Amino acid sequence: MSATLVVGCGFIGSHVVRELARQGRPPTVLTRSRPEEEIAASISTLHLGDAADPTIVAAALEGVDQVAFCAGGLLPAASERDPERDRELTFGPVQTMLAALRQRPEICFGYLSSGGTVYGDPVRLPAREDDPTVPISTYGRLHLACEQMIERERQEHGLRSRILRCATVYGEHQRPGRGQGVIATFLDRIERGQEIDLYGDGATIRDYVYAGDTARALVALVDRADCPPLVNVGAGAGTSLLEVLQLVERELGREAEIVKHGERDFEVHQIVLDTSLLHSLIDLSITPLAEGVRRTHEWLAAIGSEQA
């Protein structure tokens, strides 16, 4: 069976680790911080360090057939405040990994990109893989630049790459205390009776995809010989921010206290991904949004608000 290196064991990386372990393929992991105990138990070999360090990357790649690259830089709002820092955190690990893989052409490289931001305000909905990419945020521009680096390596050096443009991913292991994820943040703040900051009129539309579904897609596609180099991964349906808020309120049985703010100019107004290519490649059941919200709520309740 293929041996996988998961780079980055935060939110999405944790789900990829669990999916590989569920399949009887506990992975090697390279990450900056020690994973939660629940996740660490599913890891075969753990390398703690920076994926921008060539020595650490070389050691982590030993005996590996494929790489699931789930590491990222800053969150979107923080990326706007400090674009140079985000550029450093985002580019360094990708560049180091690509340089290492030139010497290891047998390894397949799967990269999680941001389908929610690289298209910008798309020319049509749902957005297809061949539609123009005109990101309006620093976060989106950085992910697109990483995609372009990967594509150059594929064309010029034969890199076996799979870029998955992911919609707005949510689910367990998303920490609201870090400003990570609107669903986790809404659940946490309403549960604790705190106010929710609502930017704009709540009409912005996103394609929300459960993290477990994203992990299953990545694991299924990363080493598929017939997989094209670029695939959208999402639910394929749009949900407004107000609809998400109402789902969370129903889950908690409590209404939110809302503080309204003006729109943020780095946010896309509407984005839904065309996932017809994804579903032509693999059989992937998409978790209904209400069910994903319930699972996220249960996880947050289990870990306790002091750890969130």
Task: Please confirm whether the linkage preceding 26 is cis (ω < 30° from 0).
Answer: no
Domains located in the chain, CATH noted: 4-303 (3.40.50.720)
Evaluate if pTM is beyond 0.85.
Answer: yes
CA atoms within 13 A on the CB side of 193: 0
pLDDT tens digits, 52-93: 999 999 999 999 999 999 998 998 889 999 999 999 999 999
Residue 308: pLDDT band with limits 50, 70, 90: very low
pLDDT tens digits, 125-176: 999 999 999 999 999 999 999 999 999 999 999 999 999 999 999 999 998 8
